[in-house]
Chains A and B, each alone.
Chain A
Amino acid sequence: MTTFILRRLLQTLVVIVILSYVCFGLMTLMPGDPVEMMISANPKISTEDIVRLREFYGLDQPVYKRYLTWVSDITSGDLGYSRTYRIPVTEMMGPSLRATFILSVTSLVFSLLVAIPLGIACALKPNSKLDYTINLFNFAGISLPSFWLGIVLIIIFAVKLGWLPAGGYQTTGMSYPSWWNEVLDKGKYLILPVVSLSIQSIGRFSRFVRSSMLESLRNDFIRTARAKGMSARVVIWRHAFRNALIPLVTIIAISFSSIFSGALITETLFAYPGVGRLIYSSIMGNDFNVAMISFVISVSMVLIMNLVADILYGVVDPRISYK
């Protein structure tokens, strides 16, 4: 097991290095650079300024040299300086990563809490009215574009009903006498983005749970468990659901891997200061340091979560072992 994990971690490192170089190279191929962005915002910048700034930021150097400089900086603990926001990357990314983590985890937990019972209910009564109704909503959820759903939610709950804020992260200038007040205030701002993000996931997860539960319920050991007089609850949760978990673990692991990548559309629509928007603006603004760190985080998360999923297979299914 230890050898397996170490081997996978080593592979992960190699993949990160190769992909980061490819990503770095691709970014340099994009027309325009941070200096171009400055020119478009300031017509008074002179030709001398342009030449000086390109030299200053090392934009006149070949790609491999720039990449090596970047690698040597990050290995020495310096994540660099954001050309767009003019502050060190570490100071900028921390709050955004936290905000996105909260949004994504809340959405994932909420989706699972809703989707698993729905999927099981459908599997227990396949082709029933309940199954058809839930499926209808599942397909609707999967099909609805998130930007449209987000706008509809804002119009209904913020503009028409005035129950929830249209966007933001917290009430600016709000004082929090207790942690509960803070939860209530920030929670209010989370409801619409979480619902907007979750609708699609609920549909997806619920369909997965339904199909894997159906398959699991067809197994002989379920019939045996029932014949032994076990309660329906024990049969469903201890026997059927545990065996239905493997495909679900995969999909949850994949969803978890994107937890720090952000949800660009939702974050933009709800003015949520998450990392998705940050990554987008850093790529568009050729903000290499921010884009590359975001990229490394995303790639690492995908690879690590895949590794976690592989390990979890062994936990949920003792037949799977690692050598």
Chain B
Amino acid sequence: MKKIGLVTTVLALSLFVGCTKKDATTTAEAPSTTTTTLTNNELKVGISQEFENFNPLIASMMATTYMQRMVNRTLVVIDADGKWVPQLAKQIPTLENGGAKITEKGGKKILTADWEILENAVWGDGKPVICEDFEFAIKVASSPNVGVGEKETYTQVKSMVIDSKNPKKCTFTYDKVKWDFYQLGTLFPLPKHLEEPVFKKFGGQKEGYEKNSIYSKEPTNVGLYNGPYVLTEIQLGDHVTFTPNPKFYGEQAKIKKIIVKLIPNTGTLEANLRSGTIDLISVLGLALDQALAFDKKIKEEKLGYTVLFQPSAVYEHIDLNLDHPALKDIRVRKALHFAINKEDLVNALFEGKQQPALHNITPNDPWYTADSSKIVTYKYSKREADRLLDEAGWKMGTDGIRTKDGKKLSFTLMTTAGNKTRELVQVYLQNQWKQVGVEVNSKNEPARVFFGETTKKRNFDSMALFAWISSPESSPKSTFSSKNIPTAKTGWSGQNYMGWKNAKVDTLLESLDTEFKPEKRVEIIHEVLKAYTDEVPVLPLYYRSDVAVIPTQMKGYKLTGHQFPETNEVEKWTVE
């Protein structure tokens, strides 16, 4: 028996090593796992979301976008203060600085813009980043055999003329004359010198490029990256290791190694942080309630961490189905809005760390306004809610629920099942509306059913609670325009789930796209917001906050609150 036990043990150990050897990546250092003194030698960042292949044209997951900014840069980006700034470009072309021009050809307006890439911008292998890299990216993205998500980002550049003397200078001709032509924050260049042979060989096959791209086959090839870091190791489902890119055009990164580690269970992120498995919890980590609880523990136990809260571009709201008989009456919608004490809601549920929402534009957005002369605001007033409902003919019944023509004033509030925060909000709102005689029942569905069927096909009876994320200065056309009301005829495209129709808003939104004067655009959007807040097709609830936990020694780490995350300034991170 002893012999069998010994043989079994040896076999198990050999098998264990044999089976795992290929995954082991050897590097010079051997850090301890549970006790680490934080230095600039290594930083382990925890994320809770899965990541994918790093090909910037193909990748679409949030976690990949988060890490992509560490290794790849674009012509322009939105900085932590919410402003568009040049990144790989020398400057942002505008009509004012002469970099962009609108000309007429055959009675048609044409928009062109001159872009120049920074002289010292190079790929990790030392080859310069040139206009041809952008041209090649556009060519790949335009291929019918490549599954690019956001194709319009690339195809909006109809043609490109490269300066014969300077390969870093080129003129983009756009397919449409739109004011936001310079917002190319997701138009990534592809290293033509490496990827072109792959595209030539496999681009003719469906998904041939994706399968054979060097980003898939050899992701640690430094020539694929132009950012402050290069990828040195990747294990899908586990971690990615980054080391500084010595060829980076900008400020050299201070942290010698960054490991982004996937901890899929947010409930164990804190334990992983406290045990030293990770040093920092990124913005893709804790939920707000977990962050609030950990913040308290930090203060009570005097732990060496700081919880950062940053208002984000995520707008939590309730879409009202305007086809519902009771919700067709604007007075009922206004009454529902007046009956919500949003200040109390955010204080009770989020300890004031999330801001009550007035409309769909978030506070970091230059288009935001809280000016009550420009929008209609709804300060909590039970009396006003009661008055509007009385006026609309909904009389209070003996059971405390209002009725009209024998029908109860009753709605179904739907949201994503298992989302603890939303379920709490649901209960809170049910209670508030009950006080004004409105019955609200909950019906929750798994996210894929809720978004894949219910909201998409407008199958919710009356109310759908969820969130939209939008970048600053982004047109709300897809959610507000009556052309975007999903129907079977249009293949359920569009996101105006409310079924809101306002001819004036439709016209304003069309004019917004072609308005080049910033102050005029603000005027237009404020007019849209006036109609939106006045007609209440949506009940705004609160603007969500991003949260992250960093060690107190950490400096230069700044949450942005928008789609270009804090990794966009990763080179500034340092441990003191």
Task: Kindly state the separation between the CA atoms of A172 and B276 in the bound complex, as whole angstroms.
Answer: 13
Bound form: Cα–Cα A46–B13 in Å: 53
Whether A84 and B264, one on each chain, are in contact in the complex, defined by CB atoms closer than 8 angstroms, is no
Pick the residue among B20, B32, B277, B452 that contacts A166 (CB under 8 A).
B277
A17 within 8 A of B: no
Q: Does A171 contact B (CB under 8 A)?
A: yes
Residues of B close to A48: CB separation below 8 A: 151-152
- Taking CB as reference atom, which chain A residue is nearest B26? A175
Partner of A186 from B5, B20, B452 at Cβ < 8 Å:
B20
Q: Distance in Å from the Cβ of B491 to the closest Cβ of chain A?
A: 7
27 example contacts (A-B, Cβ-Cβ < 8 A) are as follows A30-B452, A32-B453, A44-B471, A81-B211, A85-B50, A85-B236, A86-B216, A87-B53, A87-B211, A88-B211, A92-B236, A95-B236, A99-B23, A102-B15, A105-B12, A109-B8, A113-B8, A158-B272, A159-B271, A162-B35, A162-B275, A166-B271, A170-B24, A171-B33, A172-B261, A173-B241, A173-B257
B395 contacts chain A at the CB level, 8 A cutoff: no
A170 to B275, CA, bound (A): 15
User: Which of A2-10, A203-211, A266-274, A298-306 interfaces with chain B?
Assistant: A266-274
Q: Which residues of chain B have C-beta atoms less than 8 A from A169's C-beta?
A: 23, 235, 238
Q: Which listed residue (A88, A154, A159, A277) contacts B264, Cβ 8 A?
A: A277
Give the size category of A's interface with B: 35 or more
- For residue B451, CB closer than 8 A to chain A, the reply is yes
| B316 lies within 8 A of chain A by Cβ | no
Interface residues of B in 235-268 (CB under 8 A from A): 235-239, 241, 257, 259, 261-265, 267-268
B51 to chain A, nearest CB (A): 8
Closest 5 CB pairs of A and B: A32-B452, A31-B452, A47-B493, A86-B53, A273-B237
Indicate whether B323 reaches chain A with its CB closer than 8 angstroms.
Answer: no
Cβ-closest chain A residue relative to B215:
A86
Residues of chain B lying within 8 A (CB to CB) of residue A88: 211, 216
Q: Are B149 and A81 in contact (CB under 8 A)?
A: no
CB < 8 Å neighbour of B31 from A40, A167, A173, A237: A173
Smallest CB separation, A211 vs chain B (Å) = 22
B349 contacts the other chain (Cβ, under 8 Å)? Answer: no
The CA-CA distance from A49 to B147 in the complex, in Å, is 10
Neighbouring A residues of B31 by C-beta, 8 Å: 171, 173-174
Q: Nearest Cβ distance between residue A233 and chain B, in whole angstroms?
A: 9
Closest B residue by C-beta to A281:
B50
**CB of A22 closer than 8 Å to a CB of B:** no
Shortest Cβ distance from A109 into B: residue? B12
Q: Which A residues fall within an 8 A CB radius of B?
A: 30-33, 36-38, 40-53, 56-57, 81, 84-88, 91-92, 95-96, 98-99, 101-102, 105-106, 109, 113, 151, 154-155, 158-159, 162-176, 179, 182-183, 186-188, 237, 268-271, 273, 277-278, 281, 284
**CA A156 – CA B28 in complex, angstroms?**
31
Q: Check B16–A186 contact: CB distance below 8 A.
A: yes
CA distance A277 to B451 in the complex (A): 23
Partner of B268, one of A91, A102, A166, A188: A166
Q: Among B60, B149, B237, B494, which residue has the most Cβ atoms of chain A within 10 A?
A: B237
State whether A41 touches B264 (Cβ < 8 A): no
The answer to the question of B61 belonging to the interface, with a C-beta cut-off of 8 Å to chain A, is yes
In the complex, are the beta carbons of A170 and B264 less than 8 A apart? no
Question: CA A281 – CA B5 in complex, angstroms?
Answer: 38
Instruction: Given A98-B20, A170-B23, A271-B261, verify A165-B34 contact (CB < 8 Å).
Output: yes
* A32 surroundings in chain B (CB, below 8 A): 448-449, 451-453
A44 contacts B150, C-beta separation under 8 Å: yes
A167 adjacent to B216 (CB under 8 Å): no
Tell whether, in the assembled complex, residue B20 and residue A81 are in contact, meaning their CB atoms are under 8 Å apart. Answer: no
A52 to B491, CA, bound (A): 12
Q: Which residues of B contact A188 (CB under 8 A)?
A: 33
Residues B277 and A237 in contact, CB atoms below 8 Å apart? no
Range for the number of chain B residues in contact with chain A? 35 or more
Question: Does B23 contact A95, Cβ atoms closer than 8 Å?
Answer: yes
Secondary structure class of chain A's binding surface, majority of residues: helix
The CA-CA distance from A14 to B516 in the complex, in Å, is 65
Docked Cα-Cα span, A266 to B88, in Å, equals: 44
Known contacts A101-B19, A171-B33, A165 near B277 by CB under 8 Å: yes
Residues of B within 8 A of A284 (CB): 448
Which of B27, B257, B456 makes the CB contact (< 8 A) with A175? B27
| CB of B21 within 8 Å of the partner chain | yes
Report how far A270 CA is from B262 CA in the complex, Å: 10
Residues of B within 8 A of A98 (CB): 19-20, 23
Beta-carbon contact of A164 and B265 below 8 Å = no
CA distance A43 to B451 in the complex (A): 13
Give residues in B with beta carbon < 8 Å to A.
Answer: 1, 5, 8, 12-13, 15-17, 19-35, 42, 44, 50, 52-53, 55, 58-62, 144, 147, 149-153, 186, 206-207, 210-211, 216, 233, 235-239, 241, 257, 259, 261-265, 267-268, 271-272, 274-277, 448-449, 451-453, 456, 468-471, 478, 490-491, 493-494
Contact B236 A173 (CB under 8 A): no
B20 touches A182 (CB 8 A): yes
Minimum CB–CB distance from B519 to chain A (whole Å) comes to 25
CB distance from B67 to the nearest CB of A (A): 14
A42 x B261 contact (CB < 8 A): no
Across the interface, B493 reaches (CB within 8 A) one of A31, A50, A109, A162, namely: A50
Contact of B1 among A37, A91, A101, A237 (CB under 8 A): A237
Per the bound structure, the CA–CA distance linking A48 and B238 in Å amounts to 35
List 16 other contacts, CB 8 Å, given A86-B58, A173-B241. Answer: A31-B449, A38-B149, A44-B150, A44-B152, A48-B152, A81-B211, A84-B61, A102-B20, A158-B277, A159-B271, A163-B34, A166-B272, A170-B20, A173-B42, A175-B30, A186-B20
Interchain CB contact under 8 A, B151 and A52: yes
A164 contacts B264, C-beta separation under 8 Å: no
- Given known pairs A92-B236, A170-B24, A174-B30, the reply for A269 and B268 (CB within 8 Å) is yes
Known A-B contacts A56-B144, A173-B241; A271 and B211 likewise in contact (beta carbons under 8 Å): no
A45–B147 Cα distance when bound, in Å, is 12
Known: A87-B216, A175-B30. A271 touches B272 (CB 8 A): yes
Q: Are A172 and B239 in contact (CB-based, < 8 A)?
A: yes
Complex contact B257–A165 (CB within 8 A): no
Chain A residues lying within 8 Å of B1, measured Cβ to Cβ, are 237
Chain A residues lying within 8 Å of B261, measured Cβ to Cβ, are 168, 172, 271
- In the complex, what residues of A have CB within 8 A of residue B30's CB? 171, 173-175
User: In whole Å, how far is B344's beta carbon from the nearest beta carbon of chain A?
Assistant: 30
Report the separation of the CA atoms of residues A210 and B16 in the bound assembly, to the nearest whole angstrom: 30
- The smallest C-beta distance from B61 to any residue of chain A, in angstroms, reads 6
Q: Are A269 and B265 in contact (CB under 8 A)?
A: yes
